[in-house]
């Protein structure tokens, strides 16, 4: 699998003799792969027409086609907390040097650094992460590779750690020896009122910030299974997402984007996914294991697997990255206040 193995200090959470209701799969890497690079490129505007008329799209389309471009990428849109239409391109590299070379290319760097970006009708952000593979965990279906699993450089394997509370931590190799706690106060501080319009800001993410992408795809579901999903699982999912967005201080969830997966033109697919930033893995677990809003999601998912068994047509996946200190770059250009992490943590105004 190419994942490091540690002599475990912290015990597994998996209950003795536990067997999951369904088998799930995780990403594996060649032994030479030590680092995953993930970047979310975003553009925001007052409406979809403004966003899709921006210079972002011809720029990003050409960038994705460069030899140094990502191994895989995907698109999504949402309307954010400021009421702004936002399109995000998620990109993945399994070669840190190649990612760095991409960011240094004239096509990429010159456009991004152009002063004109600060005076356009749209704002831009680039949330760029460098994640050692021992700080990563993933969960997919074998017949439905998405996001990182869609990369030709990645293989997936059946994980023994799935279907129980604590499995997320059990799948992270470094968690065997490290509790991955935040160095900051455990209560998320009030956001800072930074003036981000017409400015460039870089935010310094703290050590062990936990990032999650979590998706549900119903494009393979027949009408009965689609109705079942919308009624019994999607409804509590939407309530859970709303709770996280409205209770940052209580949950440590600094940013939660509930996104519509789409193509490059914004045409929707039959999938939605959340992109969330938590102060630590422990904060994510606290919500997942102890709050009724997540208990409703988890219970509905398990009930669905038991109801349909191997005939289940819904496909879900998620990825979690626990960021090390340093090597992370969260940049916001001409963005509305409060976009992403722009209101949290230490920051530097670059222009």
Q: Is the pLDDT of residue 77 over 90?
A: yes
Q: Residue 89 in contact with residue 39, Cβ under 8 Å?
A: no
Q: What is the 3-state secondary structure (H, E, C) of 307-323?
A: HHHHHCCCEEEEEEEEC
Confidence of residue 193 (pLDDT cuts 50, 70, 90): confident
State how far the Cα of 134 lies from the Cα of 126, in Å rounded to an integer. Answer: 24
Per DSSP, helices labelled H in 87-222 are 96-104, 106-113, 167-170
Give pLDDT, residue 320.
98
Q: What is the pTM of this model?
A: 0.96
State how far the Cα of 275 lies from the Cα of 330, in Å rounded to an integer. Answer: 15
Burial of 143 (0-12, 13-18, 19+ CB in 10 A): exposed
Lowest mean pLDDT: which of 2-11, 257-266, 325-334, 340-349?
2-11
Give the HSE-up count for residue 12: Cα atoms under 13 Å, Cβ half-sphere.
15
* Tens of pLDDT, residues 226-271: 999 999 999 999 999 999 999 999 999 999 999 999 999 999 999 9
CB neighbour burial string for 59-68, b if at least 16 within 10 angstroms, e if fewer = bbeebbeeeb
Domain boundaries, the chain: 25-349
């Amino acid at each position: 699998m190419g994942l490091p193995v540690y002599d475990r200090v912290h015990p597994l959470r998996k209950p003795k003799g536990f067997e999951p209701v369904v088998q799930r799969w995780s990403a594996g890497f060649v032994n030479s792969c030590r680092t995953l690079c993930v970047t979310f490129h975003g553009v925001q505007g007052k409406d979809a027409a403004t966003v899709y008329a921006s210079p972002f799209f011809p720029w990003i389309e050409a960038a994705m086609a460069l030899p140094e471009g990502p191994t895989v990428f995907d698109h999504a849109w949402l309307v954010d907390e400021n009421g702004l239409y936002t399109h995000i391109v998620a990109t993945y590299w399994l070669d840190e040097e190649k990612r760095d070379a991409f960011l240094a290319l004239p096509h990429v760097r010159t456009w991004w650094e152009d002063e004109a970006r600060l005076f356009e009708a749209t704002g831009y952000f680039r949330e760029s992460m460098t994640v050692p593979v021992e700080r990563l965990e993933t969960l997919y279906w074998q017949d439905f590779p998405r996001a990182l699993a869609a990369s030709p450089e990645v293989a997936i394997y059946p994980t023994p750690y799935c279907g129980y509370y604590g499995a997320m931590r059990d799948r992270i190799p470094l968690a065997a020896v490290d509790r991955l706690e935040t160095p900051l106060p455990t209560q998320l501080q009030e956001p800072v009122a930074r003036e981000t319009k017409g400015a460039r800001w870089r935010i310094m993410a703290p050590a062990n910030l936990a990032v999650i992408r979590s998706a549900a795809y119903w494009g393979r579901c027949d009408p009965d299974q689609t109705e079942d999903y919308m009624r019994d699982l999607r409804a509590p999912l939407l309530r859970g997402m709303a709770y996280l967005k409205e209770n940052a201080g209580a949950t440590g969830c600094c940013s939660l984007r509930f996104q519509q997966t789409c193509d490059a033109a914004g045409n929707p697919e039959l999938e939605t996914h959340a992109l969330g930033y938590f102060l630590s893995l422990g904060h994510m677990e606290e919500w997942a294991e102890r709050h009724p809003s997540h208990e409703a999601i988890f219970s509905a998912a398990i009930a669905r697997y038991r109801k349909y068994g191997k005939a289940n047509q819904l496909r879900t996946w998620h990825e979690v990255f626990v960021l090390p200190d340093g090597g992370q770059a969260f940049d916001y250009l001409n963005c509305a206040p409060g976009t992403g992490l722009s209101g949290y943590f230490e920051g530097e105004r670059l222009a």
